[in-house]
Structure 1
C-alpha cells in the first residue's frame, strides 16, 4: 500500500471500537414511542362502533335490495307469460276476424289491367270480361278500387252470384292467360289478371310475403282459394303463410 493508504488503514476491530463515533440507540430507531391518550382511545372505539353499525345497516339494505330484485324478476316472468298468452289470443282473434271477412268476399274477384273509360258502368265492364271466359254468372255488383301502381287503371272488383263462379272464372283465366284485346278490341295488348278479392289482412300478408321472398330468395308466391303460399323453387313443397309468424319461421 502507498503511504497515504497506510495512514488511513485500520483493522476491523479497531474500526468498530472507534470511540469517536456516538453510540446508536437501535431501540429508539425501530420502536418509536406513541403516546395514546384515553380520549384518543375512546374516539377510536366510537369510530369502530359507528363503522360496524353502518356495515350492519348496509348488509340489511343489501338483503332488502336482493329480495326486491328477486320479486321483480318473478313479476317480470309472470308479465312475460301473460303477454305471450295475450299475444296468442290476439293472433287467434285476428285470424278469426280475417276468416270471417274473407268468407264474406268469397264470391268476389278482382280484375287487374282493364282500362277505365269516362262515365264507366263497372257492372257492364265486368260482364264483358267474364263473358269471354265462358262462365255463366250474374254480376251482382262491381266497383273500382285504388291501386298503388302509378299510371295504371284501378282494379275492378266484381261480386258474383256464387263462390263456384269465381273459382271457375279464375280456372278459365289461367288456361287462357288473356290480354286486353281478348275481351275488347280497344283494350290493347296489356296483360289482364284475375284473382280472388282478398281481405285487408290477406292483401297486406301477400305484400309482406312477396317482400320476404325477394330478400330470402324464394322464387314463387301465389294465391289459391284466398290463401297465400310460398315456395323456394320447383323442387320444394308449397308452404302456407297464415300470418307473419309463418314468415319468421322461414328465416
Structure 2
C-alpha cells in the first residue's frame, strides 16, 4: 500500500510537472506571437519609411531638375570663351568685341549685357581664365556661336592683328561654348567619356540641352541624365 501511495504521489507530481510545462509552452508561444507581431509591425514601419524615402528622393530629384532647368534658362543668352590670353588692364568687353570682329561678327557694346573673366581653373593654373558673356539678345549669342563653328581653326593668332601685345606663339585654339550649369557641365563631361569609349561620332549642346548621335545616319538622342546614355545606340 505504501508503494502504491508513492507511485500515486509520483504520478501526481509528474502530472503537475507536465501541466507546468504545458503552461510554460503556452506562455512561450504567446511571447513568440507577441514578438512576431512586434517584428511584423517593425517590418511594416520599415517598408513604409522606405517608400517614403523613395518618394522623397524622387521629389528631391525632381526639384533639383527643375532648379537646374531654371538656372540653365537664365544662361540662355550666355557664352563662355576659353583660350584667350589675358592682357594688362584688360577691358573684357573690348576683348569680346575683338573676338567677334575676328569671327566676322559686328558686335556693338550696347548688345552686350555683361562680360567678365571667370575664376582660375585650379587644375590648369597656367592657362588664361575663361570669359563669360551675356548678350542682350539670344540672336546675337546664336550668331556669335555660329560664326565660331564656321571658322573651325579659330585660334589666338587671329587676335594678333588687334592686340599686338598678345603672345600668340605658338597659336592655341580658342573655344566658344554655351554657358552650362555645373550639373550640365558634369553631365557633358560624362558624355565626352562615353563618346570616347563607345566611338560616338557626334556630341553637342544646343540651348542648354545635350545631344548625341552614334553616326551620320543614326538617331539623335537627347541626354538629360547619365541614365539616358543607356539608350544611345
For the superposition of Structure 1 and Structure 2, which TM-score range results when normalised by the shorter chain? 0.7 to 0.9
Aligned partner of 1:160 among 125, 135, 159: 135
* Higher Rg of the two aligned structures: 1
Q: Which TM-score applies when normalising by structure 1? A: 0.73
Contact 2:135 2:141 in 1 (8 A): yes
Tell whether 2:116 aligns with 1:143.
Answer: yes
* Aligned-residue offset at 1:131: 1.7
Which whole-Å deviations, capped at 9, do the CAs of 1:196-244 have from their partners, x for residues lacking one?
A: 1112222222223334445566454321221122334444322212234
Aligned partner of 2:156 among 149, 170, 180: 180
Tell whether 2:102 aligns with 1:102.
Answer: no
- In structure 2, relative to structure 1, the CA distance for the partners of 1:63 and 1:213 (3 Å cut) is farther
Contact 1:143 1:158 in 2 (8 A): yes
Tell whether 2:197 aligns with 1:224.
Answer: no
Matched position secondary structure for 1:136: coil
Which whole-Å deviations, capped at 9, do the CAs of 1:126-175 have from their partners, x for residues lacking one?
A: 11111222223333321111335423222111122211111111111111
- Distance (whole Å) between structure 2 residues aligned to residue 230 and residue 75 of structure 1: 44
Partner of 2:96: 126
Matched position secondary structure for 2:112: coil
Partner of 2:144: 169
Q: Which TM-score applies when normalising by structure 2? A: 0.78
- In structure 2, relative to structure 1, the CA distance for the partners of 1:216 and 1:74 (3 Å cut) is farther
Contact 1:127 1:139 in 2 (8 A): no
Contact 1:126 1:139 in 2 (8 A): no
Contact 1:115 1:153 in 2 (8 A): yes
Contact 2:98 2:159 in 1 (8 A): yes
Aligned residue-pair number:
216
RMSD, aligned α-carbons? 2.7
Partner of 2:23: 53
- Distance (whole Å) between structure 2 residues aligned to residue 143 and residue 153 of structure 1: 13
Partner of 1:26: none
What runs of 5+ residues in structure 2 fail to find an aligned partner?
A: 1-5
Deviates more, 1:169-178 or 1:148-157: 148-157
- Distance (whole Å) between structure 2 residues aligned to residue 216 and residue 62 of structure 1: 57
Contact 1:196 1:226 in 2 (8 A): yes
User: Larger relative CO (CA 8 A, sep 6+): 1 or 2?
Assistant: 2
What runs of 5+ residues in structure 1 fail to find an aligned partner?
A: 1-35
